[in-house]
Structure 1
Amino acid sequence: MTHTRAVLQRYAPGVLLSGVLAGVAMALGQLDWLRKHGLSALSLAILLGILLGNTVYGRLAAPCAPGVTLAKQRLLRLGIVLYGLRLTLHDIGQVGLAGVLIDALVLGSTFTLAYLLGTRWLKLEPNAAILIGAGSSICGAAAVMATEPVLHARAENVTVAVATVVVFGTLAMWLYPWLFVLNQHWPVVGGGVHGFGMYVGSTIHEVAQVVAAAHAVDSAAADTAVITKMVRVMMLAPFLMGLSAWLACHQSPAQRPGPHRGARGGWSNIRMPWFAFAFIAMVAFNSLQWLPHPVVVWVTDVDTALLAMAMAALGLTTNLSAVRQAGLKPLLLAGVLFVWLVLGGALIHCAVLSLL
């Protein structure tokens, strides 16, 4: 009993603070104006966390720090695992081989471009380039947060990456309906409304932003866009596994965090993201449809709350002065990736449909 009380006293203040911010963000995320502008609960949670973290949190940090760290790390991993209940293996069949191939090519090309341009041209930290690439190529803020435990990246790098998702994902929501009108006059993206929906789902950052942009086009396009996006989200787990293996083989001993520091390189030093395996297992379990639909809805709501708490905790520990020091280079990288998603994504779409 004494141990339980001590654990509660240690972690409760920070977890409670993260939970309150997450609750406010989820409530604000239901407002039509904010939803139409692509500000999801996750984006709002980190904004609220940053606001509080750079004003009054300094006076609360001592009692809250352990719980905030718990929310930023362990609750995040649990949230990513439960995210699998939003997907089924059937989602892959809905878009067919073409949709899966388009998603894979967009993901691979965008992330590769992010790393090469970020590290070689803009001279960003590798972790910063990887996080921006993950957010642009997979599923926005959720991908950034899921990649952070593999990298052990600094909070400022994570915040900057999430900020780029908000900026360019919001821009995409306004741009894509206009591109659809242009595409009707000068067809570049084939497949009609269904094909354009696949294009939207494979190239826009956040799920919420995909929904908003596709609904502005057509309801049929929205259905295809969401399914395509869900398949892209499902690629998060194999991406994390591949990233972990790549880091183990290419990072120098001094670059490896934690217990791996100083170890010899190679496959034996892979920092296995076990939560990624659990994510895949959750997708497979959800495909069996053993859980009643109301239970799935309830769990996904809990999952959103967990992810929002993690984002709020991240914001609380982010120092804006460090973000300002990052300068315009991260925004420039994200801008180049956005152009690639729009133009390169269209080229990939056309090439795949012409081959299949």
Structure 2
Amino acid sequence: MDLEVPTAFDERDWERPVDGGPLRFAVVGLGWFGPDVAIPAIAESDYCETTTVVSGDRAKAERVADEKDVEHALTYDDFADGEAADAYDAVYVVTPNALHLPHVETAADLGKHVLCEKPLEATADRARQCVEACDEAGVELMTAYRMQTTRSVRWVRDTVQDGAIGDPVQVRGAFGYNLIAAGEDTDQWRLDPDLAGGGPLMDLGIYPLNTARFVLDSDPVAVHASTVEGPPEFDGLEKYCAFTMEFPDGPVAQCDTGYEVAGTNYFEVGGTRGRIRVDRPFDVDGDRRITVEQEGEETAVDVDEPSEMVEEFDYFATGVLTDMEIGPDGEHGHFDVRTTEAVYESAETGERVDL
């Protein structure tokens, strides 16, 4: 075996000098992820700070602002009216999927850069409108695929692109868990078709879908899929989805996701001369393990790396504060939502769907 797998990832391959800053954020959407994950990551970052929080509930906004020592607490209406707009430079949108567009449009109208959670919106048409709003305003729009800023996943991408495992032939990825067995409340927005735009595919399956695109540095040209409808609590949404993506020049990605399946969380690429697998790649700050197989020999290492949420915010800030091109941009996120719609179309018709 001639491929050495690092155990620690100490450098940002995108790092460059940053003048000015910090990039001041308004965090729009105060479910658990915003206050418990995003705001602490911003506080830990090198180039960012949270100056404003925005919620549909004024009391919640004020409580989070007090707990996190944030100066401004706004409602969605306050935000839309431009209140405290001088207090922030960028907006992080972390609301339910189908509520992204109005907040992205508000940010663009105010001349603020946008980091928007994945998927970019609940439908491809609304995702396209997000892209158009930011393009017309001349502001940056990044789709928040944290895996693309995760150092270990970037190493996998570079290793595959360097040809270390030969020509990529097959990608496999899965992300799912048993929502009901975990005791989660079924009265939540992820099980509301109007807010989520779909079931586990939109919430979890988007991770292996997008990571396949990132690692292969390519976009699929067709999909074929199957879904299994969930129980009544799922309001017509699927409980399981399996899909295949065909890429130019031969690679095929097989992905699956579900809300009623024992926990599954892995990503692997098989090539003509070897294979790379990452276990637990999609958890927030998960304990990842990378296994490389070449010529019958196998090496596995446990990964030591910083928080990918911190990396994501600092990456975005670096792009805004320097001349670094930001990816994944809005059009990248739009393509994923187009792909999920093709997956659902294929599952309904039983046919291969071209993209």
Return the structure number with greater relative CO, CA threshold 8 A, min gap 6.
1
* Greater percentage in strand: 2
* Greater percentage in helix: 1
User: TM-score higher than 0.5 here?
Assistant: no
Normalising by structure 1, report the TM-score.
Answer: 0.28
Normalising by structure 2, report the TM-score.
Answer: 0.28
